[in-house]
């Protein structure tokens, strides 16, 4: 397998791990006002992610670093073209971090709800932003022959050659991402909390499941119309259909486990399978493009955007021990977490 393809898989895999891991604590923020009925509930929700949320974000930084290392032209082009959403993203990440860290610093009837609201708002907007960004990549950007582009927030909400960050397709992907991460977070809470909080989370997960299914079906059909490369890849690599089937299997399994007693852990794992398969679908669908253009001949691919073979080889040598250390650290941290966080008042 060519080094360029190996690095394409590595970069895609690291962003996928980020979606799965940081996805559940983003989801906890989205469902925060809907399942956290008491102060004890809300405390337990924060405690369930308190020791891992900032570590989960490392995968976003690592994915960006891997992208810069292997495909520097994509990194430079996308960071300049997506300047506006990246600034929005950074502010939201900062506010979310502040909300998580500052809420417990002062026991006041104004202070705690204020930062709780900031946690909900930033988590919700982050999931929408990430979803819209993924929609932009799948749809393609208005890049010229010199690999330059800049997208305004929106134009006419149509998918044409002069698109904005938001159109009907990217907005739809953003809403689906928000629903899917909310479902992921609800499954996490059902697995990691007790009493009424776990019951509330499980009930909400069952309701969100229908929204996620409807959105996944709708987006699948729309993607074939928006990005012709998906159909080309399926004809050339028929085994790619197994990725879509894996996503469907994850959703079906999730519903079955949510309906069983003590099925919360398996429901959460099924949710992770669904999110991972959907990310794999996106990367498979646009291959060999990394950053597709609305005019296909202007796209950045694994072949024209990669660094030298020497650079890819050396980077791979260093990446292997680095990823082993990071994986070991995450296994250690998660294995030391309490099995459950109580949703009853602390004495």
| pLDDT tens track for 72-108 | 999 999 988 998 889 999 999 999 999 999 988 888 8
Dist CA 172 CA 133 (whole Å): 11
Give the CA distances from residue 96 to residues 34, 83, 90, 125, 183, in Å, rounded to whole numbers and listed in that order: 18, 20, 10, 10, 19
Report, as an integer, the average pLDDT of 196-209. 95
- With contact defined as beta carbons under 8 Å apart, do 12 and 279 qualify? yes
Dist CA 183 CA 171 (whole Å): 18
**250 Cβ neighbours under 8 A, 6+ residues apart:** 270, 271, 272, 273, 274, 275, 276, 277
Residue 166: phi and psi, rounded to 5, are -110, 125
- pLDDT single digits (tens) 268-309: 999 999 999 999 999 999 999 999 999 999 999 999 999 999
Give the CA distances from residue 54 to residues 13, 84, 93, 143, 198, in Å, rounded to whole numbers and listed in that order: 19, 24, 10, 34, 23
Task: Calculate the average pLDDT of the chain.
Answer: 93
**307 Cβ neighbours under 8 A, 6+ residues apart:** 69, 70, 71, 72, 315
Which 8-state DSSP code applies to residue 26? H
Which 8-state DSSP code applies to residue 239? G
Dist CA 233 CA 331 (whole Å): 35
Largest CA distance in the chain: 65
pLDDT category at 208 given cuts 50, 70, 90 is very high
For residue 189, which of 300, 28, 346 has the smallest C-alpha distance? 28
Dist CA 145 CA 300 (whole Å): 10
Q: Which two tokens stand for residue 257?
A: 């486990």
pLDDT category at 154 given cuts 50, 70, 90 is confident
Dist CA 6 CA 11 (whole Å): 9
- With contact defined as beta carbons under 8 Å apart, do 173 and 219 qualify? yes
- pLDDT single digits (tens) 249-265: 999 999 999 988 889 99
Is 80 exceeded by the pLDDT of residue 343? no
pLDDT category at 136 given cuts 50, 70, 90 is very high
Residue 291: phi and psi, rounded to 5, are -130, 95
Is 90 exceeded by the pLDDT of residue 200? yes
Is 60 exceeded by the pLDDT of residue 346? no
Q: Which of 82-86, 147-151, 186-190 has the highest mean pLDDT?
A: 186-190
> Would you say the C-alpha torsion 208, 86, 136, 319 has a positive or negative sign?
negative
> Would you say the C-alpha torsion 117, 118, 119, 124 has a positive or negative sign?
positive
> What is the pLDDT, as a whole number, of residue 345?
61
Question: pTM (2 decimals)?
Answer: 0.95
Beta bridge partners of 77: none
Is 90 exceeded by the pLDDT of residue 47? yes
Per-domain residue ranges of the chain: 3-335
Q: Which two tokens stand for residue 168?
A: 């009907």
Classify each residue of 288-319 as buried b or exposed e, where b means 16 or more C-beta atoms within 10 Å of its C-beta: bbbbbbbeeebbbbbeebbbeeeebeebeeeb
Beta bridge partners of 166: 154
Report, as an integer, the average pLDDT of 225-243. 96
């Amino acid at each position: 397998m060519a080094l360029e393809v190996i690095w394409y898989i590595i970069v895609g895999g690291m962003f996928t791990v980020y979606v799965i891991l940081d996805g559940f604590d983003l989801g906890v923020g989205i469902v925060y006002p809907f399942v956290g009925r008491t102060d004890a509930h809300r405390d337990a929700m924060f405690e369930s992610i308190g020791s891992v949320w900032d570590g989960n974000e490392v995968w976003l930084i690592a994915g960006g670093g891997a992208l810069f290392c292997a495909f520097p032209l994509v990194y430079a082009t996308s960071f300049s073209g997506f300047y506006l959403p990246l600034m929005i993203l950074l502010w939201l990440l900062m506010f979310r971090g502040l909300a998580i860290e500052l809420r417990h610093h002062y026991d006041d009837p104004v202070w705690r709800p204020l930062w709780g609201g900031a946690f909900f708002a930033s988590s919700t907007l982050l999931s929408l932003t990430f979803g819209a960004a993924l929609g932009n990549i799948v749809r393609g950007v208005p890049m010229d022959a010199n690999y330059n582009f800049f997208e305004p927030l929106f134009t006419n909400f149509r998918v044409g050659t002069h698109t904005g960050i938001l159109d009907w397709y990217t907005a739809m992907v953003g809403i689906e991402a928000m629903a899917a991460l909310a479902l992921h977070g609800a499954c996490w809470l059902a697995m990691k909390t007790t009493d009424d909080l776990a019951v509330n989370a499980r009930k909400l997960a069952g309701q969100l499941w229908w929204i996620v299914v409807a959105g996944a079906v709708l987006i699948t059909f729309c993607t074939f119309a928006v990005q012709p490369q998906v159909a080309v890849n399926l004809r050339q690599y028929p085994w790619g259909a197994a990725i879509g089937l894996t996503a469907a299997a994850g959703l079906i399994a999730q519903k079955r486990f949510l309906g069983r007693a003590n099925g919360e852990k398996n429901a959460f794992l099924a949710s992770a399978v669904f999110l991972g398969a959907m990310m794999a679908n996106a990367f498979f669908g646009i291959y060999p493009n990394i950053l597709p253009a609305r005019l296909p001949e202007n796209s950045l691919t694994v072949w024209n955007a990669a660094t030298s073979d020497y650079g890819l080889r050396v980077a791979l040598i260093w990446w292997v021990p680095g990823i082993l250390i990071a994986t070991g650290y995450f296994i250690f941290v998660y294995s030391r977490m309490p099995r459950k966080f109580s949703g009853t008042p602390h004495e």
